[in-house]
């Protein structure tokens, strides 16, 4: 297999904004386009309210989607709703204009701008999600994957490609939308990017971590990071996630002390060799290629796990099982 080198690199935020995924399949293009500014003050209440509240309107071209039945289009809407979207606005390209769906709510000049934005052709369907930016991107990203996988079935030359890429610069922290509490997006031992260190405590949500994922054809093949090796940085990260100095010392004092004695910069990556085997074998399920395959009920057919534990073993480990 001939693999193009070097592997492409995409920052996380670009990947999410363009593909709606942190592990995009690049064998098909179909990028998400940002229609937020185009539809500002469009007169369509759903779009106007979303933009006014700081949200985004993302748009995706569905090739030939204008021929989809109402039932098929409703299934696409059901898909985006599982990712938190409130709905899926849509209209087909017919006679150089938008037709059906939301077309009647939009001015004719906006029809042309939206068609040009996604380079749509006659018979294509425009699918739009208006919501918080992260919701709009993820929801349309799932739709992109659905239509892209369908497209690959009729384009074997594209399906046969091996499109590796690195996704880099993941956010170091994420905020729980329910509680508003900041937490590590991966774990709190990842080194921030050097240029973002000044914002670690003043603006933690803009801080990117030295994190990297290896992606192949829409699958995460490996994930890794450069670890923190400085006590001052580690203590700052712990403060951001709400660990007091006393708790940090009690839980991780051994680590903080080790940093004082010259722990070198270090990092690594964990590779999913079983996933590579899965793709090489043309399989769809990881259970076909993992070393100890499990059923959907999480039982192992090779060694009979899970199974009852010997009472003597439980006693030795000081474990008491209550029925």
Q: Tens digit of pLDDT for each residue in 34-68? A: 999 999 999 899 999 999 999 999 999 999 999 99
- 187 pLDDT above the threshold of 80: yes
Beta pairing partners, 223 = 213, 270
Helix (H) or strand (E) holding 221: strand 219-227
Condensed to tens digits (0 to 9), the pLDDT of residues 161-175 reads 999 999 999 999 998
Note whether residue 147 is domain-resident. Answer: yes
CB neighbour class for 88 (10 Å; exposed up to 12, middle 13-18, buried from 19)? buried
Note whether residue 61 is domain-resident. Answer: yes
Q: Do the strands 164-168 and 8-11 form a parallel or antiparallel pair, or are they unpaired?
A: parallel
pTM for the full model?
0.86
Note whether residue 103 is domain-resident. Answer: yes
In this prediction, residue 39 carries a pLDDT of 94
Note whether residue 323 is domain-resident. Answer: no
Note whether residue 167 is domain-resident. Answer: no
Condensed to tens digits (0 to 9), the pLDDT of residues 117-143 reads 999 999 999 999 999 999 999 999 999
Structural domain boundaries enclosing 64: 28-160
Evaluate whether 125 touches 66 at the Cβ level (below 8 Å): yes
- 220 pLDDT above the threshold of 80: yes
Note whether residue 32 is domain-resident. Answer: yes
What's the whole-number average pLDDT of the chain? 93
Q: How confident is the model at residue 76 (pLDDT cuts 50, 70, 90)?
A: very high
DSSP 317: T
In this prediction, residue 58 carries a pLDDT of 98
DSSP 263: P
Beta pairing partners, 213 = 167, 223
Percent of all residues in the chain with a pLDDT value above 70, rounded to a whole number: 100
Q: How many domains does the chain have?
A: 1
List strands edge to edge, sheet with 266-271.
8-11, 164-168, 211-216, 219-227, 266-271
Note whether residue 99 is domain-resident. Answer: yes
In this prediction, residue 44 carries a pLDDT of 92
Note whether residue 46 is domain-resident. Answer: yes
- Greater confidence (144 vs 1) lies with 144
CATH code, 146: 3.30.1360.30
């Amino acid at each position: 297999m001939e693999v193009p080198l070097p592997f492409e690199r995409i920052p996380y935020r670009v990947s999410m904004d363009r593909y709606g995924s942190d592990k995009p399949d690049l064998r098909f293009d179909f990028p998400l386009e940002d229609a937020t500014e185009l539809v500002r003050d469009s007169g369509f209440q759903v779009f106007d309210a979303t933009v006014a509240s700081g949200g985004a309107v993302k748009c995706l071209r569905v090739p030939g989607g204008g021929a989809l039945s109402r039932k098929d289009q409703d299934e696409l809407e059901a898909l985006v709703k599982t990712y938190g979207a409130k709905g899926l606005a849509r209209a087909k390209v017919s006679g150089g204009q938008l037709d059906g769906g939301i077309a009647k709510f939009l001015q004719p000049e906006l029809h042309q701008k939206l068609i040009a934005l996604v380079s749509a052709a006659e018979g294509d369907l425009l699918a739009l999600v208006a919501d918080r930016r992260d919701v709009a991107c993820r929801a349309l990203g799932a739709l992109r994957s659905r239509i892209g996988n369908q497209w690959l079935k009729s384009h074997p030359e594209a399906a046969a490609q091996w499109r590796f890429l690195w996704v880099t610069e993941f956010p170091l922290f994420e905020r729980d939308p329910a509680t508003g509490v900041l937490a590590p997006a991966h774990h709190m031992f990842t080194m921030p990017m050097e240029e973002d260190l000044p914002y670690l405590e003043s603006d933690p949500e803009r801080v990117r971590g030295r994190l990297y994922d290896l992606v192949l054809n829409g699958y995460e093949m490996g994930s890794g990071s450069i670890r923190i090796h400085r006590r001052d940085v580690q203590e700052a990260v712990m403060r951001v996630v709400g660990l007091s100095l006393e708790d940090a010392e009690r839980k991780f004092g051994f680590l903080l002390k080790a940093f004082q004695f010259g722990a070198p910069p270090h990092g690594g990556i964990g590779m999913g060799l079983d996933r590579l085997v899965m793709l090489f074998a043309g399989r769809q399920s990881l259970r076909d290629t993992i070393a100890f395959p499990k059923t959907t009920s999480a039982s192992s057919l090779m060694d009979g796990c899970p199974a009852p534990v010997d009472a003597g073993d439980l006693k030795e480990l000081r474990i008491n099982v209550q029925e």
